[in-house]
Amino acid sequence: MSGYAWRCASIPDYCLPWTLWGWESACNTDYAGLEQTAGSPPAFWSCSTAPPSFSAPQSTVQSYLEGVSAGLEQLRSAAQEVQSVCQDLGAARWALLDSADQFQGLQQMRELMEEHVQLASVVQVLPQIFSVHEVFSHILQLLRGQHLLEAHVELMMVEQLRDDILSQLHLRGLSSAQATVLSYFSGLQDLNESLARQLWDIVGSSLRLVREDPVVFVTAVRIIEREEKIDDTLLLEATFLPPGRPKGWRQKFHQVLQDTITGARFHVPRMDAEGPGLAKHLAALQKDIVSELRVVKDLMVQCVPAHYNILSVCTATYHQALSSHLQEILREDLDKQGLFLLLEWALRLPKMMGHPDLLPEVDVSALDPLMSSELVDQTERRYVMKVKVSEWDRDPFKEWFKEEEPETDHQGFFQSALPAIVMQMLNENIQVASLITDSLQQKIYNMALEELEAFLGRSVEPLTPLAQTLLLCSPQPLCLQLPSRKWLSGSQLVGSMCEVIDKYAKDFSRVRKPVFTLLLAESELLVANQYLRALLQRKMVCKSREERGQLCHRLLQDATQLRELFCSLVRGAGLEAVFALRELICLKDPALLSLEVLGFVTKYPDVSDEHVSTLLDIRGDVSKEVRHVVLEMMAQHPQELPEGYRPIFSTILVPVQELPFCLRKGKCA
């Protein structure tokens, strides 16, 4: 056995798989120089299992050798077949290289084939192209006959023809030819506009049509849906968008429907913007809105696709239109009744939109308030101001100045229905405001408290003129005689004044307290003011110490007599000023006048320099130096009127003192 045959025959069967894959390299291994021992395996075996013993029977070895021989034969046959295939592939490659020039001729044939196909397609549509204008005329007749579905079908076919031609031109970059195509199909634009006008007229009359002829409305919706699908398809492809696309007719449908809802129904003439006219308008508006929403809920919903969500759209549109309409009305100068109506109507929105005929489809909770919180607050304030003007700006005191006496109660006191009227007015306004909101009720309540306080103050104001009317008509002529030598010598002027005051005080007694007390207090202050006015404006200068003492005695008697009269009626502060003024005149040492005047102006801060100068003149013994010191002291201690102080001297104007006339380098005249 040769070395090659031996090596191959010596391969054990458990190493056969590895041997079959790597037989060529294994059998061609050079084993020169290796010493082989009989009965031992070759050194290149790498089997993990120990080789079988060569002492095995001869039949087992023979079967191994036969299997190896068959495998080698198969491998040899496969190698021959692979070599044959390689030869065939080489021959095919050389054949293809020889025919490369012929492929260019096939490319020209392919281009001619494509042109032939295009011309064939053009020939097929030539009858349609030549009949375009005839189709236009037929579509126009269908539109005039209101056969909208048929007209729209033919319109879509012509549009499809135009769009296919434009698409082909677009793909081949022939933009210059597109203008010719558009010009040839220019009638499509007019037909589209004519169809759209009829559709929007139908949509604008939808609330009537769904009740009278729903087929017409459904037809319009079907056409709109067709166009919407075409728009969606073209937008999805996004390769070529024909002119006029997307049409967006579904959005236009909603817009026309909303414009119809917000049309003339939400218009109120200016002359009816308040009072009964406004109430009638709002009532009719509420009735129409509920009726129309009922039509949408029961009929229109069945005529449109579900994704239109038509009931919610219409409800939101009515709500927005109402909100804008109320804001428009609020721009008018409404009276309190109009403002009340709008506030009440806006708060009744849940009740109106929540009508039993609209439930449960209409979700009131999804709607915002008709008026924002800021607008409600602003409107409530306007209402409060209107109530204030209409109820509180009237003159309730006219009856006080009538010629006949007021009514009296069972005790003989004067009485008036004014308090009852005021309380009834307050109660009515607060009760009415409670029907709107708690905030409005609180605003009315706060306004009523403020106005009641001001009203009470105004109710006192007529009492002072009443005391001009009752007191000064008689005492004032007596005050004109002050001061005079006759008065200084012991006239009964003040006694006569006391008799007049006492007479009118008896008339005041028919007025209940505290008004009676207030009248007397005002009278006391008024008498003191007139007394001081007469003394200061018609000043008398004392010529001697005896005359100054006589003046002080007269002032003491008058002030004491008047105080005794008023103290029996009411305790006032007006006559105290007469006593304080007397102290300034009676002061024996003029050098102490500055301190005395300081105390006087501190107690009566409305006393001016002119008043003090007049008092110093009445004394008749004050030098220029003392006068200067007194006035300088007043300038260094300015006084402020304390809160609640009743002025006594500020209403008394004294004559301006004339300055002495002096020539330069001469004596003053």
- Confidence band for 414, pLDDT divided at 50, 70 and 90: low
Residue pLDDT, tens place only, 381-407: 998 888 877 665 555 556 656 666 666
Residues 6+ apart with CB under 8 A from 150: 142
Span 464-636: which CATH code? Answer: 1.10.357
Please state, for a pLDDT cut of 90, what percent of the chain lies above it. Answer: 14
Average confidence (pLDDT) over 602-625: 89
Crossing angle of the two packed helices 493-508 and 515-537, in degrees rounded to 10: 160
On the question of pLDDT at 413 being above 80, the answer is no
Average confidence (pLDDT) over 233-254: 86
Q: What's the mean pLDDT when you consider all of the chain?
A: 76
Residues 6+ apart with CB under 8 A from 521: 570, 572
**Residue 617 and residue 433: Cα distance in Å, rounded?**
65
**Single pTM value for the model:** 0.54
pLDDT top residue among 264 and 498 = 498
**Residue 407 and residue 415: Cα distance in Å, rounded?**
6
Task: Phi first, then psi: give them for residue 394, nearest 5 degrees.
Answer: -85, 155
Task: Phi first, then psi: give them for residue 89, nearest 5 degrees.
Answer: -65, -40
Strand-pairing partners, residue 293, are none
Question: Tokens standing for 493?
Answer: 């002027």
Please state, for a pLDDT cut of 70, what percent of the chain lies above it. Answer: 71
Average confidence (pLDDT) over 246-270: 83
**Residue 50 and residue 48: Cα distance in Å, rounded?**
6
**Residue 535 and residue 581: Cα distance in Å, rounded?**
10
Residue pLDDT, tens place only, 534-587: 888 877 888 888 888 888 988 888 888 888 877 766 555 678 888 888 999 888
Handedness of CA 114, 117, 122, 125 (dihedral sign): negative
**Per-residue model confidence (pLDDT) at position 198:** 94
Q: Are 661 and 669 in contact (CB under 8 A)?
A: yes
C-alpha separations of 241 from 70, 129, 244 in Å: 72, 21, 8
Question: Tokens standing for 295?
Answer: 């039509």
pLDDT top residue among 344 and 173 = 344
**Residue boundaries of the structural domains of the chain:** 3-95, 128-248, 264-371, 389-402+411-461, 464-636
**Per-residue model confidence (pLDDT) at position 330:** 87
**Per-residue model confidence (pLDDT) at position 6:** 34
Handedness of CA 203, 207, 209, 215 (dihedral sign): positive
Q: Are 560 and 497 in contact (CB under 8 A)?
A: no
Strand-pairing partners, residue 415, are 407
pLDDT top residue among 428 and 208 = 208
Highest mean pLDDT among 73-77, 129-133, 175-179, 484-488: 73-77
**Residue 473 and residue 646: Cα distance in Å, rounded?**
23
- Of 95-99, 246-250, 298-302, 582-586, the poorest mean pLDDT is in 95-99
**Per-residue model confidence (pLDDT) at position 238:** 65
Q: How many CA atoms lie within 13 A of 381 on its CB side?
A: 5
Secondary structure E strands in 301-353: none
pLDDT top residue among 423 and 418 = 423
- Residues 634, 636, 638: CA angle, nearest 5 degrees: 65
Q: Are 181 and 162 in contact (CB under 8 A)?
A: yes
Grouping H, G, I as helix, E, B as strand and the rest as coil, residue 13 is helix
- The owner of tokens 């005529």 is 303
**Per-residue model confidence (pLDDT) at position 26:** 36
Handedness of CA 568, 571, 576, 578 (dihedral sign): negative
Average confidence (pLDDT) over 218-232: 93
